[in-house]
Structures are given as C-alpha cells and as structure tokens.
A and B are shown apart, each in its own frame.
Chain A
Amino acid sequence: MPLHRPPRFAFGLSLAALVALAAIRPAAGQDAAPVDRMVKLDQYNRAAVELMFDSAATLGLPVSYLRSVVYEGIEKHADNRAIVRAVRKQFDLLKTARATLGAIDSGELSGAAAVLYAGARPNQLHSFRVQQKSQNRLEAFTVWADLLTRGVPAEDAFTGIEKLWADGADDATFLRLWKNVQSDILQGLNPGTALQNRIRETPVRASPQTVKPPEGQQENQSSR
C-alpha cells in the first residue's frame, strides 16, 4: 500500500472538518454577538442570581425585571454582592406584591414592587386589588413610588393615592397630580404639604364608570 495515501486522506478529512466548523460558526454569530454581561459577576454570585431567576420563572414572576436589575448594577459598577442583594430584594418584593395583588400583569407587578421598595407597606397594596373599569394600577403605582422617592411621608402618599384610586381616578388624574406635586416641590414646597394641597384640589369623580379617556389623551400621557 502506498504510504502517501493516508496523509492525503487525513488532509482531506481535516479540510472537510474545517469546512463543517466554518458552517457552524457563522450561524452562531448571526446574532451580532450579544454580549454575555453576566460574566462580569463572579461565579458564586452569578450562580446565586441565576438561582433566583429560575425561582422567579417557576413562580411566574417577571424574570426580565430581575435581569434588568443585574444589568443596571453592572452598568453602574456596583459591587457583586450589592447586585445580588438588589436582585434578592426585588425578588422578595415581587413575591410580596404577587401574594397581595394576585395575578396581575408583569408591568403592574414591577410597579407594585417599586412602591414597596420606596417604602409602602404590603398591606397598603390591598386597596388596589379592586380595580374599576378604566383604571390601571401602573400609573397609580408609578406616581405613588415617585412621591415616596421625592420624600412625601409614606402615610400621606398612601392616603392620597388610595383616595384617588377609590374615587375612580384615571391615568390622566394621576399624571396631573404628579406634575403638580413635582412642580410644587421644585418651587420649594414641603413634599407632604404639596401632595395634601393637590389632593384637595383634585375633583372627586361623580361616575367612575365614565373614566376612560380618549385615545389622544392616552397618547399624551405616554409622551409626558
């Protein structure tokens, strides 16, 4: 048997293998190579975070919300342990919000978690289990969390938001309240006082069933 045959065969086989590999790699790289930013976490903390993600997925909680917390921490150069602490905190808050409010959409759930994080008590969320026809918890929770973050006393913020909610306030009403209170705070008014004043000015709805705003108004709310 000629000795030069096997090397030629091996060369051909190697060439074929290289071609096969080349066929795989471009396919894997078609996604513009999304960067795995989780590698910035060390192995231990990454495992801890992934465990919480899996638990959240099992419970039907929005994993994307928790993942976003990790990315935020990485981008803000937070310590690994601080990131894990933040994720754990948000995970716990999501569970609490879900236990209190029941099955609501992920946006409302993350909004409720933000309210709890800002300083509201879980039992205060109970008032928002009941929802009138045109009401959306998302705007109420967003304004509530904002007020708490700006320094409105927790009890005042809850009382004001809860009153508007019970009165059937719509998104536009909450948005108007937020803008007015923010304006007052920027002008130097005490946050709690600003909220109380504006709550008093907010008209109570006569008929909560007629709260659905026109489409154009909804768009304006989003545009801020």
Chain B
Amino acid sequence: MERLIIKSDQIHTWLAKIIETVPRVLAPVKTGSKAEFREIKDANSVAYDTLTTTSSVKASAFPNTETLFAYEKQGTDTKIYDVAEENFLDTVIWRARPCDAVGFGPLTKIFNWDYKDKLYNERFSRLVVVSFACDKADGCCFCTSVGGGPGNTAGSDIMLTKINDKETLVEVLTDKGQKLIDLCKDCFTKADDSIDKESVLAQVPVRFTREQIHDKLAKAFESPIWKAQSERCLGCGACAFVCPTCACFDIQEDAHGNHGRRVRCWDSCGFTLFTQHTSGHNPRPTQATRWRQRVMHKFSYMPDRLDIYGCTGCGRCSRACPVDMNIAEHLTNIANNE
C-alpha cells in the first residue's frame, strides 16, 4: 500500500482529469437538503460538506431496475438475447465513505455464493472506489460497532484522509487505484511516515460488538423483543433500498405479446408480501417476524453461512426511516438485554 500526499487545491485538478478520462464518475451531489450519488461531468458539482448520501452507491453494481435478458418468440422457437455487457461503463465512485466501500464485500458474497451473478460481477469489476475518510459522524453512525471505522480501507481502491487544510493523505490500495493516480502523477508526493491518519478521524463510540449480537441472536428467535422493537415499523422498503448491503430483488416481466424482457428490481424483506406463497400462506406474517428476519439475516445468518456480516454501520436505514427505527439503538438493546 502506497502512502502519498496531495495538496488540497490539487484534488480538483485530479478529479477533473478523472472526469476527462473515465466514462462515468459518480459523486455525492446536493439534492434539496441532502445529497445523493449522481453522475458528474464537472469537478465543481461534488457536495463535500455533507456527511453522507441518503442512498448507498450499490446501484452502480446492482441497479434498481435492470434487464436480465430479452426474448422473442418466433413461431415455436424462443430466442433469448443477453444484455450487452460491453456497454457497461467503467466507473469511478468519488467520495464514497468507508462504510460504502466495505458494503461491496457482503454484496459480492451474496451475488457469488451459489450462482455467479454475471451482471453484478461485470458491473462491479468496472468500479474503482475512491473513498474519503470521515472526520465527522452523527447519531446514526455506528461503523466502529460492526468491525469498521471512519478510516477503514476495506473495499476501497484509494482512500483520502484530510490531514489539515493544505494536505490530504492518499492511500493507494490496489492496482486499479494506482491507475487513477497515474492520471495526474504530478499531483502527488510521497507521504512522510509521521503523518498520523488516526488523529484526524471522527470519534465513533463503540456501542456493541458484532460477536455480542451474533451470540445473543442464537437464542433470540422466540424473544418478545422483536414485537417490541418493530411496533412502529410501517413495513416500507426505505431501509432496504438505501442500505449498501441489502440485495433482495424481485424478478418481473415486461411482456409485450410475443416479445419482452425479464427484469430484476429491488425488493425488501420488510414488505408484507415478500414471503407470501401462492397458497396464501405467509411464513413471515407480522412486521415483528419481518424485523426479526432483517436483523437475523445481517447479524446471524450471513456470518454463519457466508462468513461476512451484512451491515457496515453507515446508519442510512435509520436516517431514511420515517419512524426512526434506529438500528444502532435496537442492536444496543439486543446486546444489553435478555
């Protein structure tokens, strides 16, 4: 891993070079009072003063709506047409947060554990993640309680940490990252060993550990805590949709007589009909059972089956929730109770 320094006023120059060279650059852009990842064509569009975006950037590898294949019936034959993956754009994600970058870990595991999802893998392979370490956190952040941190480099190709007004530390973590550095070699100088990244990072108090939660969950299936915590949950999909690791999807058909497309779109385990069977039976008939599923999936089933936790502590779910289902609060409750 290489440690470089970029002067703060050169960051703009480097980004401009990236925008010139790379087909697509996604960065946080102001939208009303918040920020979202959008494609930028101008280095001035980036919203540097917002803590984080409302939605994660998982749509760059796992879009909300995507075609799986197209079909056409010709007589008694059916022709299947694949998606033209060569059209997927090389993309730089600029100013991701460490909790965004680390989110690709569980996503990639989910899309590769039994069936290697070609579309996801093709999109993901074209991503270069440039994350900015966090010097601030809010009441919904809890990355340090889930094995992460405001300067955690997992999942990033490059990480920038602002040391002071003049200098930013640049950690080059992968070859992909190096290629971006090479676009503007003159912007960078070697970093001194004395540069202390930890001292400028946000303080995010540890509220619990993942292992604590995992162990408590092993005995919690029948606990009354699920009903108590989920009473106010409205069963919308906001939490699942903004989450960087949630990958549940629905498969639908855009049918037009003898031709059409099979479409994949986001779904949420919080929706009432998510597990509805055609028989009419629903194994998760109450919001309590669905809330239990959400927590168990991220903190018990995923680590047990895929060896990875399904939560990065970004707090997006809590901020997006209309009724303040603050997941860190709920998890702390679980860790401390029963």
Specify whether A and B are partners. Answer: no
